[in-house]
């Protein structure tokens, strides 16, 4: 799938405050671009209606990635597989943020959930007409004059300890170009694994090193959180597409649903994948970051979690 390179521009003198650390207090969006895809009229198409799924929950799902100078947000309307992508980029010369957006309407199988390893690399779960799920990698190509992010993928899959490299961020070509004066973002997609027998997907998480996704799904009233390898581990490790159970919600009724998640690095205990609802936090520990979770900790309140693991204890947050 590729977005059209046709460019539509709207320039407004003031679109309100949008500040980050290092941004002046009176910074405003000065340049805004609305890109269109084939068969779509120009302009930003915000999702105003919030349709619901079969359980009465909102079917609009959001994902995003943020650095000090670049913010990318994606809003997914699962009822129509519509992705509204909005970027905010800091002009180094003006120290102000510009904005661009594009609406993607992929055809074929339904986009059920998506997540990001970084702003230019997305992982998308799509359901076919037969009911099985495929995991795709969507790559937003680096556009000349635009910000980009990157992080090297682990050379091997689950079973080999790795050190997660630093995130790389920059401006393609070295010189910032305002969104109205550059081409629209383009996207490529690759199917990593298909034919997965999964129920309705509620949450998808990507490993910072790109070795697996973790998915919360439900079928026939049963819900579980599973790890799915997406890189080969050789003959001794799990195969691509294996479903490795992490958490069984039926056996842990005190944790009804995942409402948020995070991935962290602790200087002493290693990698942590954390899932939360309103009260309970569950922490899956991977001491040597080999992709295998050795231990699990459960906290029955946010206070208990923060008391043992305050924000200051984490050396990295992904």
Minimal CA–CA distance to 33: which of 87, 72, 70? 87
- In order, the DSSP letters of 224-279 are EEEEEE-S---SSSPPTT--EEEEESTT-TT-----EEEEEEETTTEEEEEEE-SS
Around Cβ 190, how many Cβ atoms within 10 Å?
A: 9
pTM surpassing 0.85?
no
- In order, the DSSP letters of 98-159 are EEEEEEE---SSEEEEEEEEETTEEEEEEE-TTS-EEEEEEEEPPPTTSEEEE-PPPSS-TT
* Per-residue pLDDT tens listing for the chain (318 residues): 333 222 222 222 222 222 222 233 334 446 777 665 433 333 322 222 333 343 333 345 678 888 889 999 999 887 777 899 999 999 999 999 999 999 998 888 889 999 999 999 999 999 999 999 999 999 999 999 999 999 999 999 999 999 999 999 999 999 999 999 999 999 999 999 999 999 999 899 999 999 999 999 987 778 899 999 999 887 678 999 999 999 988 887 777 778 888 899 998 999 999 998 888 899 999 999 999 999 999 998 888 988 999 888 999 888
């Amino acid at each position: 799938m590729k977005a059209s390179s046709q460019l539509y521009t709207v320039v407004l003198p003031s679109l309100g405050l949008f500040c980050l650390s290092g941004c002046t207090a009176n910074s405003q969006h000065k340049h805004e671009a609305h890109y269109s895809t084939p068969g779509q009229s120009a302009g930003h198409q915000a999702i105003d209606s919030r349709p619901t799924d079969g359980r009465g929950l909102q079917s609009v799902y959001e994902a995003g990635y943020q650095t000090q100078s670049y913010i990318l947000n994606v809003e997914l309307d699962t009822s129509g597989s519509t992705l509204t992508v909005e970027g905010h980029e800091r002009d180094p010369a003006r120290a102000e943020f510009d904005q661009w957006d594009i609406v993607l309407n992929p055809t074929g199988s339904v986009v059920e959930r998506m997540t990001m390893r970084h702003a230019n690399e997305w992982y998308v779960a799509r359901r076919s007409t037969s009911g099985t799920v495929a995991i795709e990698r969507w790559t937003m190509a680096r556009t000349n004059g635009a910000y980009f992010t990157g992080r090297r993928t682990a050379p091997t899959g689950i079973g080999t300890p790795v050190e997660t490299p630093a995130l790389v961020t920059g401006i393609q070509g070295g010189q910032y170009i305002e969104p109205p004066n550059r081409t629209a973002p383009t996207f490529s997609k690759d199917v990593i694994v298909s034919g997965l027998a999964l129920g309705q997907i509620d949450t998808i998480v990507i490993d910072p090193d790109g070795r697996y996704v973790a998915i919360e799904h439900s079928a026939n009233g049963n819900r579980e959180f599973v790890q799915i390898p997406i890189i080969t581990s050789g003959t001794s490790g799990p195969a691509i597409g294996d479903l490795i159970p992490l958490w069984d919600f039926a056996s842990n009724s005190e944790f009804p649903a995942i409402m948020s998640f995070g991935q962290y690095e602790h200087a002493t205990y290693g990698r942590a994948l954390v899932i939360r609802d309103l009260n309970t936090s569950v922490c899956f520990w991977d001491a040597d970051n080999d992709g295998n979770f050795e231990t699990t900790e459960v906290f029955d309140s946010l206070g208990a979690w923060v008391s043992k693991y305050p924000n200051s204890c984490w050396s990295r947050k992904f």
